[in-house]
Structure 1
Amino acid sequence: MEKPYQPPASVDPDSPQVKENESSLTDENSVVPRRFLGAFILVTSLFALWGFANDFTNPLVRAFKEIFLISNFQSSLVQFAFYGGYATMAIPAALLIRKFSYKAGIITGLFLYATGALITIPASLSMSFWMFLIGFYILTFGLAFLETTANPFVLSMGSPATATRRLNLAQAFNPIGSLSGMVVASLFILPALNTESFKAEQAAAHPEYATMRPSAVDGLMIESLENFRDTHPEEHTAMQVHDLSVVRIPYVVIALIVLAVMVTFILTKMPKTAGEHEQISLGALTRRLMTGRYLGGVVAQAFYVGAQIMCWTFIVHYGMTLLGLTAAEAQGYNIWAMGIFLASRFLCTAILQYMRPGLLLGVLAIGGIFLTAGAILIPGYTGLYCLIGVSACMSLMFPTIYGLALHGLNPEDAKLASAGLIFAIVGGALMPPLQGWIIDGSDMTLGGTLLESVRVSFVLPLICFVVITIYGFAMSRQGSAASS
């Protein structure tokens, strides 16, 4: 631990020079030193930008299922493409920022983000589900660059002792972007879809639906859409054209915003956050990363991202299938979940001053296990409320796993090591299709109680929280990040 500044015996301790030195040392050990404050604010804005993309896209999994009339597994390929981009581009992004700079990585990321968002224009005009997937894939090339760059950049903006707290502070603004994406989807996109209007008309024409299980009604609604497609192909095509144009607009707007932010970074001089380190070989760095701390962090991060994406994507299916909610109503509960996530992120960042990061991570993961079990086993709105509550437990996980895994690495090594943690976002690509496949399957009975396939599918995030619990308590026992 760094000792407080002690002036030489011959120097007056009350002199201006001594006071300035003491103030400088105190500032350097603050969460964000003053000399990095402007850069920290600018880089933190990126966290909101990728949060918007992530959580505006989540409800499209259900929307595309109804617009294109495809299975849950097929529609969940939206998440496979979206988060698969991270796996593809994480390592190239890390190599680029090590060779050039954090600034170069950010500018490249913003350009790819805007490019992918703009591909939704030809995708919607051609009514091609697969072109949408290509656009999302390229968009997340950009997000991979931004996350691979921004996370270690923030970690390096000050003392290593406050690195995890600093990253948690920056990550606290990610849910603001996520919440914005959810609100746009809930208020302006989902209610404007003609598929939703069609389903409302079907419900009005069949009053008997009110006495049926919501999951059965949901299946009948899909059958009605399929019949409408087969019997009125021109009208159904017109419905698709309208709905895809509605989906396209926010992506075009966010692309323009991203391009404006890119110009801002091009014109802004970013500070150097650390001295130059000796050039290293990938082999040497790989050997240094062969530790339980780092490899366990990569595994834990993959399971965390998988759990997060599954909970936030399929909460819409949960509400619509089990409770008979409209898409907009179900997305409204997702907004509540994100609000809880945001509040909990700030609260947990404060708690980190008094509690070891690994210990808090393990405790929150146990909470995630119990709440996910509640969503599986408890029917009705209580189960939905449990699923919403999971967000409070997830709020701290990504930045804390990130900080724990990179603890002790110098900033140059962290540029490459961070690629593994961003690659771990592939968990969000692989697990949602598996959950969609389970939802497409049959219901099951447990102890004489019917468990709809949607509820059964949440066994997957429960398993994810078990893995995170093990990593959190393992890091807590090591105790090396206690001062973070």
Structure 2
Amino acid sequence: MAKSKNQLAIILITTLFFLWGFVLNLNPILIPHLKKACQLSDLQSALIDSASYIAYFLMALPAGLFMKRFGYKSGITLGLVLFAFGTFLFYPAAELRLFSFFLVALFIIASGLTLLETAANPYITVLGDADTATQRLNFAQSFNGLAAFLAPLMGGTFILSGNTLTEQQQQVMSADQLNQYLTNEAASVEVPFVVIGVVVLVVAVFFWRTPLPDITEEAETTDQAEGSIFAEKNLIIGVVAQFFYVGAQVCISSFFIRFSDRVAGINEKTAALYLSVALLGFMIGRFFGTYLMRFVAPPRLLAVYSLINVCLLLVAVLAHGLIAVYALIGVEFFMSIMFPTIFALSIRGLGAKTKIGSSLVIMAIAGGAVFPVIMGKVSDLTTMQTAYIVPALCFFVVFYFALRHYKAENVQLAVTH
């Protein structure tokens, strides 16, 4: 009975990975769309991503404290309610065509997602055998990869109009005509986001009414329960590794289209198609990596994948034409397992500190707000192609983390035998 309850919980938690992956990957659609509808500068439109990353950074610790007090199920339910509420706010934001309102809505959505990620990632690792925790988490994260592939395709179909006015066209339009155009553009987000909100609210009700196992992590010793979370060296190194990994991931995707244009002369629409292929590879990589972990220890696989990505990025920096673009597509595949694997290895053995430790790892998502800025500065000073040295250096940090775990496991096996 307990086993079947755990299986139901794993299925339900896996749906959450898809939901937050879908809405987060609508941001690349919202950036050009709201830039048109709200008449924004490039800097203002970049705040769409900033609203999400700031929420993850600010809300991760409160989320961990909330779940330490009320449990995983309550954290998930509250996260879903905030998620739905934020999506519903897109309707009045579009009606008023206020960019600040959109940013508030995005911040609320991301606050809900922070609760979901802080709860779902550790929850699924404790729903079953500890030896297969990393494998379960990678499997659930595979559906996040599926969402990453589907969101831009569906968002492009139902949100983007494909109708962009030049400055000259806007100048010859009357004030009423321009206002009508902007109103129509803004309104296209209303129905999609309301539909997302309804779906999320239904999932929240389902979670609230479904009996799920309430996992309690026991401390191995009294000292472990009462000691400072910052004394957990493995966790802190894991947080740093996750910070660098997320920074690298955002760098790879955010500059992909511009890189394709500069290095291979690929136009914007074709480059977007290449990016979709890359994200498909990311999804396939998650499923393949989950399978591979049945035969290869997660730390070893993480170390190998990190080095492969460093090599592929060096190819992207040094090669020309399509070879460089293909190298970046390959990076998407090999970084697919990294977030869930770093997460699972970071919180291993935390016992009663798991919820708070998880929130610290989630806070590391803030790396996605830092490294693209560094990469952009390097690009301004040199070239876009040279700037891909930045994510390559990030993967060296991930390699160090993986190597540390690999050596520790080898020592443990030697002692055991």
TM-score in terms of structure 1 length: 0.77
Aligned-partner residue type, residue 194 of structure 1: N
Return the match for 1:394 from 311, 335, 341. Answer: 335
Query: Does the C-alpha gap of structure 1 residues 459 and 135 become closer, same or farther in structure 2, counting only changes over 3 Å?
Result: farther
After superposition, give the CA deviation of every residue in 1:170-217 in whole Å (9 maximum; x if it has no partner): 212211222221221343434x2311xx4xxxxxxxxxxxxxxxxxxx
Matched, 1:301 2:233: no
Aligned-partner residue type, residue 413 of structure 1: K
The alpha-carbon deviation at position 373 of structure 1 amounts to 2.9
After superposition, give the CA deviation of every residue in 1:213-259 in whole Å (9 maximum; x if it has no partner): xxxxxxxxxxxx34444554735444433322224432222111101
**What is the match of residue 91 of structure 1?**
61
Matched, 1:466 2:407: no
**What is the match of residue 271 of structure 2?**
330
Aligned-partner residue type, residue 418 of structure 1: S
**What is the match of residue 362 of structure 2?**
422
The alpha-carbon deviation at position 342 of structure 1 amounts to 1.4
- Give the % identical residues: 33
**What is the match of residue 36 of structure 1?**
6
Return the match for 1:241 from 179, 183, 190. Answer: 183
Any conservation in 2 of the 1:121–1:248 contact (CA below 8 Å)?
A: yes
In structure 2, C-alpha distance between the alignment counterparts of 1:59 and 1:151, rounded to whole Å? 26
The alpha-carbon deviation at position 387 of structure 1 amounts to 1.7
After superposition, give the CA deviation of every residue in 1:10-55 in whole Å (9 maximum; x if it has no partner): xxxxxxxxxxxxxx9xxx9xxxx44410111011100000110121
Any conservation in 2 of the 1:368–1:393 contact (CA below 8 Å)?
A: yes
In structure 1, C-alpha distance between the alignment counterparts of 2:186 and 2:314, rounded to whole Å? 36
In structure 2, C-alpha distance between the alignment counterparts of 1:38 and 1:258, rounded to whole Å? 18
In structure 2, C-alpha distance between the alignment counterparts of 1:293 and 1:36, rounded to whole Å? 28
In structure 2, C-alpha distance between the alignment counterparts of 1:226 and 1:374, rounded to whole Å? 39
Aligned-partner residue type, residue 473 of structure 1: L
Report how many residues are paired.
411
Matched, 1:193 2:162: yes
**What is the match of residue 101 of structure 1?**
71
Structure 1 segment 209-358 matched on structure 2, within 5 A: 225-230=166-171, 232=173, 234=175, 235-274=177-216, 284-287=226-229, 289-319=230-260, 323-327=265-269, 329-358=270-299
Any conservation in 2 of the 1:89–1:141 contact (CA below 8 Å)?
A: yes
In structure 1, C-alpha distance between the alignment counterparts of 2:412 and 2:170, rounded to whole Å? 60
Local SS of the residue matching 1:179: helix
Any conservation in 2 of the 1:372–1:462 contact (CA below 8 Å)?
A: yes
Any conservation in 2 of the 1:81–1:429 contact (CA below 8 Å)?
A: no
The alpha-carbon deviation at position 283 of structure 1 amounts to 9.0
Any conservation in 2 of the 1:111–1:259 contact (CA below 8 Å)?
A: yes
**What is the match of residue 8 of structure 1?**
none
Query: Does the C-alpha gap of structure 1 residues 312 and 41 become closer, same or farther in structure 2, counting only changes over 3 Å?
Result: same
Local SS of the residue matching 2:25: helix
Aligned-partner residue type, residue 244 of structure 1: A
After superposition, give the CA deviation of every residue in 1:267-304 in whole Å (9 maximum; x if it has no partner): 111113347669989993425x4243211100111111
What are the ranges of 5 or more consecutive residues in structure 1 without an aligned counterpart?
1-23, 199-224, 445-450
Any conservation in 2 of the 1:193–1:242 contact (CA below 8 Å)?
A: no
Matched, 1:158 2:148: no
Any conservation in 1 of the 2:73–2:207 contact (CA below 8 Å)?
A: yes
Query: Does the C-alpha gap of structure 1 residues 300 and 424 become closer, same or farther in structure 2, counting only changes over 3 Å?
Result: same
TM-score in terms of structure 2 length: 0.88
The alpha-carbon deviation at position 68 of structure 1 amounts to 5.0
Aligned-partner residue type, residue 394 of structure 1: M
Instruction: Work out which of the two has the higher radius of gyration on C-alpha atoms and give 1 or 2.
Output: 1
Query: Does the C-alpha gap of structure 1 residues 330 and 43 become closer, same or farther in structure 2, counting only changes over 3 Å?
Result: same
Return the match for 2:46 from 64, 67, 76. Answer: 76
Any conservation in 1 of the 2:148–2:279 contact (CA below 8 Å)?
A: yes
After superposition, give the CA deviation of every residue in 1:93-120 in whole Å (9 maximum; x if it has no partner): 1111111111100010001111222222
In structure 2, C-alpha distance between the alignment counterparts of 1:339 and 1:430, rounded to whole Å? 26
Local SS of the residue matching 1:173: helix
Matched, 1:407 2:377: no
**What is the match of residue 311 of structure 2?**
370
Aligned-partner residue type, residue 58 of structure 1: P
Return the match for 2:87 from 98, 110, 117. Answer: 117
Any conservation in 1 of the 2:135–2:293 contact (CA below 8 Å)?
A: yes
